[in-house]
Structure 1
């Protein structure tokens, strides 16, 4: 009987020990999730991959993040409740980058992927001269963050790594912005050899100019010539932006017929939110990347199909309305251009109408309309005004 009592006590201790571990594990996961919800609710723009691993030596926090304040908050909470742990969290940027944790896009368009491989989903794009943050490297790929805070992978051949000082030196150089929808850099004034193609919004350092051309230098050192009629000095372009309803409409119509491309944000191809993002960027304003992010920017205008309340430049959002059992889902965005019409990327950039008697009446999108927001002229932490807030492109 004494033998069986000992066995019973041992089994009871084991069960209690397991329950205690599970309880701590559940609490730890809850603390991690709470910090993640507060500091990194959208994984598209914030990296916080942290978990607890238990061993005979106790709990170890493993994973990585580019948010040191969030990691500090998590450790503070665990210290507060008395949960002992070993800290093995990697704070990015990774030390292996050796100080080169910024970069410039060197191709006309860099294709940014969801995973570090060419076969992965196209998450977004970044155009020539876009400054990015670099967080880590895996094989021939870098994990980067664009000015709209989007996180994605880029192949090493599409960016030029730099130190902060090197990027600052580039920032202070004179630059041009390419304003045509599509074009090229040539190897000489009269040469037909092409150094690279260009898309609207490409940024290049300019090293001189002639009567009809600019001499330019790429971030990776390549040089060439750009026709003056197709570009403008960056500061002059920035200073002449009127950022008006009419300028947004005019810009949008220059992109008519550009094909739809999932993940695209350039004049080579664009998805619906890439299109609205490009319109605003070419008018000096950076807005969030995706439709489900753009819907949280600006101020609400309409949610009842009262289209007479809209102004040119307002963004219209479409998708699935919320129900008692499902959340709202924003899946499409377009821009109002007046006359009961909106322009959007659907198969290609096109104009559709909310007027049932119009030839271009869009019944499908009218039926899934959710709301409209106004970002033009708004002060919003989700919006970056190039004239006031965005120093990467500033030049002498």
Structure 2
């Protein structure tokens, strides 16, 4: 398990370059103050190394604030503000920090159009949780820069979805994607993070980080669980829909799936992540 003090997943430091706020706590040849930017495309892959064929660590979505420390060879070395994840995004996926988002997508998926007209060819898609800066209205549509999105698929940023288990239920059948955190593809911790973010609750990115930071520990027993509780394995996580039923994004089903907790725990113990390591409640 990474050192939580200087966990490389959330520490913007390399031997040659580091965040100026880390001066004195890490060694680096050069320290810089990061530049605030914002993701300006529907979804951008964040990778551990600046290579298009590197594995996907997580995804940043439209509206996510990032701090940029370096841009080189088509990649930006960044830290995502909401969860601290550090890595490389395509430089072309970033835009200015302002204007700040005003609305969030609440439909599983929506579309950007060149005009306020559903019959026009869509320019791109937006997934659940993407944030956008609306600059005006045009009938049933919001203007977003030079594009338009159906207003009924959006809500103001301060309007939350407090039942994170209900959000997870909406995502049943979403394909499993290692590193995914959108309604097009999710991994286990991406599902939890997306559902909690829509409820207005901060949440780190990976399962082990979530186990340390989200909620409080419950007694080590399947008895007494309730809707919204979290179940942890070493490297895996899910949440409860009721005292007996688990929902999780998993590689066995290759999707977000619902199954009895005891059945899932027995299979996982035999095949992948071992026994349950903990249970948590907000």
Shorter-chain TM-score above 0.5: yes
TM-score (norm 1): 0.64
The equivalent of 1:44 in structure 2 is 9
The equivalent of 1:264 in structure 2 is 180
Instruction: Determine which of 278, 290, 307 is the counterpart of 2:222.
Output: 307
The equivalent of 1:342 in structure 2 is 246
Q: 1:73: Cα distance to partner?
A: 4.8
Is the CA contact 1:249–1:312 (under 8 Å) kept in the aligned structure 2? yes
Runs of 4+ in 1 over 3 A off after TM superposition: 36-39, 47-50
Is the CA contact 1:280–1:286 (under 8 Å) kept in the aligned structure 2? yes
Is the CA contact 1:177–1:232 (under 8 Å) kept in the aligned structure 2? yes
Gapped runs of 5+ residues in structure 2?
Answer: none
Q: Greater helix share, 1 or 2? A: 1
Q: CA RMSD in A?
A: 2.3
Q: 1:242: Cα distance to partner?
A: 6.0
Gapped runs of 5+ residues in structure 1?
Answer: 1-35, 51-62, 76-87, 95-100, 218-222, 319-329, 377-396
Residue pairs, 1:192-341, within 5 angstroms = 192-217=120-145, 223-235=146-158, 237=159, 241=160, 243=162, 247-297=163-213, 298-303=215-220, 306-318=221-233, 330-341=234-245
The equivalent of 1:170 in structure 2 is 99
In the alignment, the residues of structure 2 paired with residue 207 and residue 74 of structure 1 have an alpha-carbon distance, to the nearest angstrom, of: 42
Instruction: Determine which of 92, 115, 136 is the counterpart of 2:70.
Output: 136
Is the CA contact 2:110–2:150 (under 8 Å) kept in the aligned structure 1? no
In the alignment, the residues of structure 2 paired with residue 257 and residue 73 of structure 1 have an alpha-carbon distance, to the nearest angstrom, of: 44
SS in 1 for 2:208: helix
Instruction: Determine which of 80, 88, 105 is the counterpart of 1:153.
Output: 88
If asked which structure has higher relative contact order (CA below 8 Å, sep 6+), I would say 2
SS in 2 for 1:344: strand
In the alignment, the residues of structure 2 paired with residue 73 and residue 176 of structure 1 have an alpha-carbon distance, to the nearest angstrom, of: 38
TM-score (norm 2): 0.88
Q: CA 1:74–1:122 in 2, change beyond 3 Å: closer, same or farther? A: closer
The equivalent of 2:30 in structure 1 is 90
Q: Which has the larger radius of gyration?
A: 1
Q: 1:308: Cα distance to partner?
A: 2.4
